Amino acid sequence: MQLSAAQLSNWLLEALPEAPSVDKADRCFRLFDLKSLRVGSLEQSSSPPLFGSLAEWFDAQRALYATKVPSEAVQVLLRVFLEPQQALRLGLHHASFSIDWMSVSEEAAAEPISGALLRRLGMASRRPRRMLLVVMYKAERSRITQVWAEMDREGLALKKGAQLDDPLPLLRISRLC
């Protein structure tokens, strides 16, 4: 069974309100391909990763899974699912992408991507009440292999009736696909 990026990112969000447990952490970490995982910024392809190392990302995720995050603290407000059409050949698996416009409230202070973006901006100690993020997941072989994130500067997640024709960071995103 081939799982898409949207399904995998949904499972990550669904696990957040659960009570902390080793099972919760194990289930979440199994959604990632830890051998090839990269976590970066949508801002520029040449910008440094959001975390200094995979171990730093792992520790930040572990801290998140060790808490019970209210379901309204991290919400997907808008999602675009991309599954580029590719011919499947023997041994070649296609990738899928999920672009999530998210709201992260101060109740989710352990959420690592928003924390990494705030650190990059020099605002780690000044977490806003609510942050709007654009997070893109790339999935291959039923595992998340890459994550890119940026602040939702356009505020598209809050726009009623948003469409793909709106000014999106899709130009930056398309360079990454």
Could you read off the pLDDT of 150-169 as tens digits, one per residue?
988 877 777 776 665 554 54
Q: Are 42 and 54 in contact (CB under 8 A)?
A: no
Q: How far apart are CA 61 and CA 84, in angstroms?
A: 29
**pTM, whole model, 2 decimals?**
0.84
Q: How far apart are CA 83 and CA 5, in angstroms?
A: 9
pLDDT digits (tens, 9 = 90+) for 37-93: 988 887 766 677 889 888 999 999 999 999 999 999 999 988 888 776 654 544 556
Structure tokens at 34: 């830890």
Q: How far from chain centre, in Å, is Cα 136?
A: 5
* Partners of residue 147 on adjacent β-strands: 39, 137
Q: How far apart are CA 34 and CA 25, in angstroms?
A: 14
Q: Is 133 helix (H, G, I), strand (E, B) or coil?
A: strand
Q: How far apart are CA 61 and CA 90, in angstroms?
A: 35
Q: How far apart are CA 118 and CA 24, in angstroms?
A: 26
Q: C-alpha dihedral over 30, 56, 14, 111, to 10 degrees?
A: 180
Q: How far from chain centre, in Å, is Cα 140?
A: 15
Proportion of the chain above pLDDT 70, given as a percent:
81
What's the CATH code, domain 5-153?
A: 3.10.450
> Which pLDDT value is given to residue 24?
94
Q: Where are the domains of the chain?
A: 5-153
Proportion of the chain above pLDDT 90, given as a percent:
45
